[in-house]
Structure formats: structure tokens, C-alpha cells
Amino acid sequence: MAPLYIVLVVVVFIWSGIFGYMLHLDRQIRSLRENQKKIAQAGVKLK
């Protein structure tokens, strides 16, 4: 394989690792915020 392709593989690998983790983090935050909103709405209804 040509050297430049190998370099590209390494760079894409590093960036996909970082972005993959960031996406996972964002998904978790979004789901927790939704849960928080649901709990708050349930609390308002109970009152």
C-alpha cells in the first residue's frame, strides 16, 4: 500500500475514535436531559 494511504488510515482511525466517543457522550447527555425533563413534568402533574 502507498505510504500516503497508510497515513490516511492512521489519521482517520484517530479521528473516528475521538468523534465516536464524542457522539456516544452526546447521546448519553441527551437521554439524561430527556429523563430529567420527564421527571420534572411528572412532578408538576403530581402537584
Binding residues for another protein (CB under 8 A): 2-4, 6-7, 9-11, 13-14, 17-18, 21-22, 25-26, 28-29, 32-33, 35-36, 39-40, 43
In angstroms, rounded to a whole number, what is the distance separating the alpha carbons of residues 2 and 42?
Answer: 60
CB of 15 to another protein, least distance (A): 8
Smaller CB distance to another protein: residue 11 or 47?
Answer: 11
Compute the Cα dihedral for 27, 29, 24, 21 and give only its sign: positive
Start-end of H helices in 1-47: 3-46
CB of 3 to another protein, least distance (A): 4
